[in-house]
């Protein structure tokens, strides 16, 4: 069952910020938001995750709305190597259910 | 350090044959997952192992699919009497599940083609 909704594709100019939205209106209180990306012919790569506070790491920032019904992944300075499919996933912490659904994600193309 | 390793990277076999796919997780990772990804699709959860607990097999699509894991090391996914719809990339992931969330680390998958 899909628990997240993402646009199928997006373009971003190289050097600009890429903002990838995700809707998760049915998210439960104990469910985290995770982002992964998959570059062609490779396995998915973990990017970032959060529960309710905004998070930042060396790869990206995650902005979660106050009601937690949506979030945005921000790649601050997109490069050509960021071209990939980006997956937004919601999942409960360990012990409360292990299934989760990647969906079809957003195909991000970074344009030179 | 070494990541998740899967073998073979590619497998072509005839319909009706059995296949066995292997996953070597990152050393020390107690959790291991198998997924299937059909061409142009998202990942489909198959099975999850956590330490010595009974595996979560709820994602296995039929009784032709089975998986085993030896302790906290190697796992094998077996597909019996393969069908053409089994053609997909089979991905394995492992994580440090220590009671709270840890990110999953994926291998590059086994591309299975059923003729």
Residues of B whose CB is below 8 A from A46: 103-105
Q: Are A101 and B45 in contact (CB < 8 Å)? A: yes
d(CA A107, CA B40): 11
CA distance A14 to chain B (A): 25
Task: Give the residue among B55, B94, B58 at the shortest CA–CA distance from B73.
Answer: B94
B95 against A101, higher pLDDT: B95
Local structure of A64: helix, strand or coil: strand
pLDDT given for residue B71 in this prediction:
81
- Give the C-alpha distances (Å, rounded to integers) separating A29 from A25, A73, B5, B82: 11, 20, 35, 41
Sequence-ordered list of residues with C-beta below 8 angstroms from that of A34, at least 6 positions apart, any chain: A46, A48, A49, A88, A89, A90, A91, B103
112 residues of chain A, pLDDT tens digit each: 458 899 999 999 999 999 999 999 988 887 889 999 999 888 999 999 999 999 999 999 999 999 999 999 999 999 999 999 999 988 765 444 455 667 779 999 999 9
Q: Count CB neighbours of B111 within 10 A.
A: 17
Q: Minimal Cα distance from A90: which residue of B?
A: B101
Strands ordered across the beta sheet of A61-64: A18-23, A70-75, A61-64, A55-56
Contact between A106 and A7 (Cβ < 8 Å): yes
Residues of B whose CB is below 8 A from A49: 101, 103
* pLDDT, average across residues B83-104: 84
Q: Are A44 and B58 in contact (CB < 8 Å)? A: no
Local structure of A56: helix, strand or coil: strand
């Amino acid at each position: 069952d899909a628990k997240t909704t993402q646009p199928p594709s997006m373009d971003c100019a190289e050097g600009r910020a890429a903002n990838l939205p995700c809707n998760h209106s049915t998210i439960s209180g104990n469910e985290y938001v995770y982002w992964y990306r998959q570059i062609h012919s490779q396995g998915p790569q973990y990017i970032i995750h959060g529960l309710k506070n905004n998070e930042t790491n060396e790869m990206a920032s995650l902005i979660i709305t106050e009601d937690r019904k949506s979030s945005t992944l921000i790649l601050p300075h997109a490069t050509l190597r960021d071209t990939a499919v980006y997956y937004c996933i919601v999942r409960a912490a360990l012990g409360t259910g292990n299934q989760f659904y990647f969906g079809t994600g957003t195909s991000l193309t970074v344009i030179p | 350090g070494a990541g998740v390793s899967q073998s073979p990277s590619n497998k072509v076999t005839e319909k009706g044959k059995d296949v066995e796919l292997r996953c070597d997780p990152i050393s020390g990772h107690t959790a291991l997952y198998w997924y299937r990804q059909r061409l142009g699709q998202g990942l489909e959860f198959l099975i999850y192992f956590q330490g010595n607990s009974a595996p979560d097999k709820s994602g296995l699509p039929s009784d032709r699919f089975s998986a085993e894991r030896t302790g906290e090391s190697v796992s094998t996914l077996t597909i019996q009497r393969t069908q053409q719809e089994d053609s997909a990339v089979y991905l394995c992931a492992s994580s440090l599940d220590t009671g709270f969330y840890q990110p999953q680390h994926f291998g590059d998958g086994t591309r299975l083609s059923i003729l």
